[in-house]
Amino acid sequence: QDQAPEMLVQLADMAISRGEDDGFFKEFFLEQLRELEKEVQARLGDPDARIPVGVEGARILYVPLSGAHTIVTEAVLFNAAGESWTMSMFEASNYGVFLGDTVRAKKITERIVNEAKRLKVEEVVLTECGHAYSVLRWEAAKWFGGHLPFRVRSIIEVLDEYVRDGRIALDPSRNTESVTYHDSCNLGRKGGLLEEPRRVLRAVAQDFREMTPNRVQSLCCGGGAGLVAIPEWSESRIKAGKPKADQIRRTQASVVITSCDNCRHQISEINEHYGLGIKVTSLAEMTVQALVVPTRSSSQVEGCESSSVLERAAVG
C-alpha cells in the first residue's frame, strides 16, 4: 500500500468517507440534481420529468458516476420509458479495486448494497462503467454473504430490454454518421455483455460498423485499471492505445461508442494524439439522440405543475 498511487488512494478514501457521513454532501448533491432535472425536462419537453431520490420500493436503483454525463442522459431515458426508478446517493466508481485493496473496495461497495436494501429495490442498475459493473455483479455477492436481495445489471441490459419491449420510440435516421463500438474488457470478455449493445446500436444508428477483431477478442484500449486517473502514466497509456487507434482508423467510422467511462477518456485521448478525427460518446447518449419524444401542446405544458426532487421523494 505504501507504493499505491496517491491519487487513487485519495479517491478511494473520499468515497468511503462519503458513505460514512453523507450529511456534508447531501444538500449539495440534491441541489445539483435540481439543476440537472431542469435539463432533463428541457430535453424531453416535459416539465413533469423527474430525477427521483430516495424512493422506497422503486424497481430500479440507478448508480451513476460523478458528473452530469451519466445522470442527465439516463434520466431522460428512464422518464421516456415510464420507469420506476430512483437515483443513488453514491457514485459507481470503486478505486479500491484499482488499488487491489479488498478492504477499501468492500467498504465502497457496501454503501450501494446498504442503500439498495434500505430502499427495497428490485434491482441495481449501474451506469456505463466497466469496473463498477464487474465489482457489483461478480464480487459483491461473495463479499456479503453469497446472495444479494436484488438483481444487478448494467444500463446496457436495460436499454436492450427497452428496445426489445418497445418501451422507447426510436428513429435511427437521427444518427446518420458511421458508428463503431469498442468492447470494454470488463463488460465484454469478462462480463459477457456482447450482443446487448449491438442490438441497441442497430436500433438507434443507420450505419453501424464492427471493428476487427471484436467481442471477446476485442483489443484493450490501454486505459483500464485506473490508469486514466494517474498523470504520470499518460505517456505509457497513449503508447498502449496505438493498436486500438489503428483498429478504429480502419473502420473509417466517424463515431466510436463505448460503454465504459475509462475507455471513453482513453479513446478520446488517443483520438487527439493520433489524429483520428472521431467523436467518442456513450451508448445511452446515442440512444437519446434517436429518441422520439411526443410533442406536448402548450396547454398541457402550462397546466403542469413542477415539483422538486425533494417534494417527490424523501431522502433517508
Write out the chain in H/E/C secondary structure: CCCCCHHHHHHHHHHHHHHHCCHHHHHHHHHHHHHHHHHHHHHHCCCCCCCCECCCCCCEEEECCCCHHHCHHHHHHHHHHCCCEEECCCCCCCHHHHHCCHHHHHHHHHHHHHHHHHHCCCEEEECCCHHHHHHHHHHHHHHCCCCCCCEEEEHHHHHHHHHHHCCCCECHHHCCCEEEEECCCCCCCCCCCCHHHHHHHHHHCCEEECCCCCHHHCCCCCCCCCHHHCHHHHHHHHHHCHHHHHHHHHHCCCEEEECCHHHHHHHHHHHHHHCCCCEEECHHHHHHHHECCCCCCHHHHHHCCCCCHHHHCCCC
β-sheet bridge partners, residue 267: none
| Percentage of the residues of the chain whose pLDDT score is greater than 90 | 69
Q: What is the mean pLDDT of residues 132-138?
A: 92
Whether 86 shows a pLDDT value over 50: the answer reads yes
What is the model's pLDDT at position 182?
A: 97
What is the model's pLDDT at position 223?
A: 85
Whether 151 shows a pLDDT value over 50: the answer reads yes
Q: What is the mean pLDDT of residues 56-81?
A: 96
**Looking at 66-70, 151-155, 170-174, 200-204, which range is the least confident one?**
66-70
What is the model's pLDDT at position 15?
A: 58
Whether 300 shows a pLDDT value over 70: the answer reads no
Residues 140 and 123: their CA atoms lie apart, in Å, by 14
**225 or 135, which is more confident?**
135
Side chain identity at 35, as an amino acid letter? Answer: E
What's domain 170-290's architecture? 3-Layer(aba) Sandwich (3.40)
Whether 99 shows a pLDDT value over 90: the answer reads no
Residues 187 and 60: their CA atoms lie apart, in Å, by 20
Computed on alpha carbons and rounded to an integer, the radius of gyration of the chain in Å comes to 20
β-sheet bridge partners, residue 257: 181, 281
Q: Report which of 123, 181, 110 is spatially closest to residue 150, judged by C-alpha positions.
A: 123
Side chain identity at 214, as an amino acid letter? Answer: N
Residue 244 grid coordinates:
486500438
- Which segment, 65-74, 90-99, 224-233, 270-279, is predicted with the most confidence on average? 270-279
Q: Give 43-66 pLDDT, tens digit per residue.
A: 999 999 999 999 999 999 999 998
Residue extents of the structural domains in the chain: 6-164+294-312, 170-290
**282 or 67, which is more confident?**
282
Residue 159 grid coordinates:
436499454
Whether 4 shows a pLDDT value over 70: the answer reads no
Q: Give 8-43 pLDDT, tens digit per residue.
A: 566 555 655 665 666 667 888 899 999 999 999 999
Are the beta carbons of 238 and 163 closer than 8 angstroms? no
Residues 240 and 242: their CA atoms lie apart, in Å, by 6
Helix 155-165 and helix 195-204, axial crossing angle in degrees, nearest 10: 50
What is the model's pLDDT at position 303?
A: 41
What are the backbone dihedrals phi and psi of residue 87, each rounded to the nearest 5 degrees, phi first? Answer: -85, 135
**2 or 246, which is more confident?**
246
β-sheet bridge partners, residue 258: 182
> What is the rounded average pLDDT for all residues in the chain?
87
Whether 304 shows a pLDDT value over 80: the answer reads no
Q: What is the mean pLDDT of residues 88-113?
A: 86
